[in-house]
Chain A
Amino acid sequence: MSTEKFSVKQILNMEACTRCGECTELCSAYMGSKDLKLSPPKKIELLKKRIWNKSIFGKLLGKKDLSEKEMEELLRSAYSCTLCSRCEVNCPINIDLKDMWISLRENMVSEERAPEQLELLRERLMKAKNISFDTNEGRTDWIKPVPEVPENMYIKKSAKVIYFVGCVSSFSPRTFKIPRSIVQILQSAEVDFGLLGDDEWCCGFPLMSSGFAKDFEEFAVHNIKKVNNTGARILVTACPSCYHMWSHIYPGAVKDIKMNFKVLHMVQYLYMLAKDGKIKLNPVESKVTYHDPCDLGRNSGIYDEPRDLIKMIPGVEFVELENNKEYATCCGGGGNVESIDTELSSNIASIKAKEIIATGADIVITACQQCVRTIATGLKKEKSRIKAVDLSQLVLDSIKAGS
């Protein structure tokens, strides 16, 4: 293995890891498979073994690399990870494991071992600039049924707020309700907002998380330039992965272009609007629980705003999930696992669904279109009638309840 894809810090972390197993207990891939081969310590041991085999001692013992069986094991575990970061929470020495798994995937890509599905995803993204099979011109098709949409469909040359919709909400009909709700909320709050339309490219998260690190920078540069051109002061997005890219990855990856705007997740923005009295929340009688999306909670540290916003809605009874905030379990929809190992993704979703059912809630709220999709499927599999909705949908229901 070339170690060039791993940083000095990452190899130091591999040496520092004692395989104590605190991460295994929380690992989504392990929970969904009960296979220790997918656990973080096993991955680290295989990586260390690879480094050792390539070192002078390995060569003296006649080793060159991992055996083909071990290599397959490493590849499988690399792409079975949902990148949820839950493994990091209890690590006694705070290892940034998610970063390590992404570097591992980069390594697999550089050795041309990445799964075919992801190579296809890359091709599609590089060509169409979105994760669907459609061309990018259809990015705003979802908006058509929304009432009172102007002719320009909010694709403006300038706006105070840019709503970055994201690929899943733009192209997956199962999640169209989310951007539609958001637009209606922004309309009711009389926000001067705009959409980028077909100028909006994928945020690059699927590329970065699949190990195609170099390719995503082109997407970052394009998106930053387009938002800068609108003169917007705020960029909001309802997708936690897009939010994580904009707020945590873009500033480090694109040093030459300054972002002239603030990046907020939609829950933060809606909370601000509600707090400032720009949207009026009316009673909604429901018992709800909240699922922390991994990229919004653990990976970006946003835990309070969604909870505060839910509690601002009169009539709502809020119950926490057993595993919440940094301990929240993954929905199974992250890390492109859904396209690599459907069964594993479905098992993880089932664990989440059972936890939701145990709360006795009528609705599970989240702040991620992908989580809504995966949780809804998980709940259906568990034959539950609990509804999975995005927080924006609940807020819109609350606004509409007054009319």
Chain B
Amino acid sequence: MKIELVSIHFWIIHILIIFGFIGGVFYKVSNILKGNLIIDNKTLISSRWSKFWFLIRKFFRNFFSKKIGLILAVLILDSIIHVKLFRKNKLKWLAHTCIFWGLVALFILSILSGIAVEVLPAFGYEEGSCGFVDALADKDFWGTAFLNEWLNIIILFGIILAFIRGFITKKSKGLFMFQDIFLIIFIILILVSGWFTESTRYIIEHTPRYIAGIGYFGYYLSRFLQFTFRQVSEPGWALSYRIFWHIHISIVWMSFIYIPFSKFSHVIFSPLASILNVFDKKKHTGDQY
């Protein structure tokens, strides 16, 4: 039995969430632009729009100049690989890399799967035309299942590592704030609800072991659930699947809206800050941002 859950209301909420996310980023950027912007130590730009466009122009002027090399180097070394952190503290780097890259890769995979399942068929795509698209659309395809499973495990490993460093060995001098709890709760709930959704899907779709076994976390959970709740009927598992799926997707949406207001906003702001800071360190004088 195959179940289709995506419907119009999904897309409406999805679009609203994207607007919510953009609104959050807009609010943050607007706050940032409240700061002063002095050019050549003389001219003060007062309006936030003027500051925004000045910075955009400045960015593109630098991007299409000799400075492109430096921009790329900073982006790759400081924002993507985090070389400085790697040299200083390999364990911390590992925790950060697992969480960050795990989430980014999972996000990309989900977006691609969404396109393969929902968007491309709307534009006349027919199953069987492209192996790659079919693989993305099929959650039971070994590659997709393997990636989904392992990325979840990598993220969980990163969280456990960060937790041990921060709260058990107390090696981290990082400042943990109350609002960070929400972020951790969101990530854990996404992972756990994802496994429950997957396991109930395995139950109702009667996925054979040789396929479901790739997503073994979900598979063994499905076996455990089936064993523990033997009295639950087929429609009961179908309902459970719907509930878990909606819980899962709701948490994903909520966390998405929360990103601009959380510690995770550094994904957006840190690369920009890194580039500006490196430019400024090189010259000491001149424009101040």
Residues of A within 8 A of B (CB): 3-13, 15-22, 24-25, 36, 39, 41-42, 45, 51-52, 55-57, 90-96, 248, 251-253, 255
Contacts and interface: CB of A to CB of B under 8 A. Distances in A.
B49 interface: no
Contacts of A11: 31-32, 34-35
Contacts of A52: 31
B250 interface: no
A16 B269 contact: yes
Nearest to B37: A8
Contact of B289 (A8, A17, A251): A8
Contacts of A96: 277, 280-281
A255 B42 contact: yes
A93 to B, nearest CB: 4
Given A7-B288, A22-B173, 16 more contacts: A9-B277, A9-B280, A12-B35, A12-B289, A19-B176, A19-B263, A22-B89, A45-B177, A51-B31, A91-B84, A92-B78, A93-B78, A93-B79, A248-B285, A252-B285, A253-B41
A56 B278 CA distance: 32
Given A17-B266, A21-B174, A93 B281 contact: no
Nearest to B40: A255
Pick from A25, A42, A90, A94 the residue with the most CB of B within 10 Å: A94
A41 B177 CA distance: 10
Given A21-B172, A21-B174, A7 B38 contact: yes
Contacts of B37: 7-8
A12 B277 CA distance: 10
A90 B84 contact: yes
B25 to A, nearest CB: 11
A154 to B, nearest CB: 31
B51 interface: yes
A295 to B, nearest CB: 13
Contacts of B173: 21-22, 24-25, 36, 39
A19 B177 contact: yes
B175 A36 contact: yes
Contacts of A17: 266
B121 interface: no
B174 A94 contact: no
A253 B38 CA distance: 12
Pick from A20, A36, A91 the residue with the most CB of B within 10 Å: A20
A321 to B, nearest CB: 19
Contacts of A251: 285
A19 B35 contact: no
Interface of B: 27-28, 31-38, 40-42, 51, 55, 78-79, 82, 84-85, 88-89, 92, 172-177, 263, 265-266, 269-270, 272-274, 276-278, 280-281, 284-286, 288-289
B28 A10 contact: no
Contacts of A41: 174-175
A36 B174 CA distance: 10
Nearest to A13: B273
Contact of B84 (A7, A19, A57, A92): A92
B242 to A, nearest CB: 34
Nearest to A51: B31
11 contacts: A4-B35, A11-B31, A15-B28, A15-B31, A15-B266, A16-B270, A20-B85, A21-B174, A36-B175, A248-B285, A252-B284
Contacts of B32: 8, 11-12, 15
Contact of B85 (A39, A42, A92): A92
B272 A16 contact: yes
Nearest to A248: B284
A12 B175 contact: no
B275 to A, nearest CB: 9
Contact of B175 (A9, A45, A56): A45
Contact of A39 (B175, B177, B272): B175
A90 B84 CA distance: 7
A5 B34 CA distance: 10
B276 A9 contact: yes
B35 A18 contact: no
B78 A94 contact: yes
Contacts of B89: 22
A94 B32 CA distance: 18
Contacts of B79: 93
A124 to B, nearest CB: 27
Nearest to A40: B175
Nearest to B55: A8
B272 to A, nearest CB: 6
A376 B28 CA distance: 48
Nearest to A2: B34
B3 to A, nearest CB: 39
Contacts of A252: 41, 284-286
B227 to A, nearest CB: 43
A246 to B, nearest CB: 12
A12 B276 contact: yes
B282 to A, nearest CB: 11
A213 to B, nearest CB: 12
Pick from A15, A36, A42, A248 the residue with the most CB of B within 10 Å: A15
Contacts of B51: 8
A22 B92 CA distance: 10
B273 A7 contact: no
A88 B43 CA distance: 28
A7 B35 contact: yes
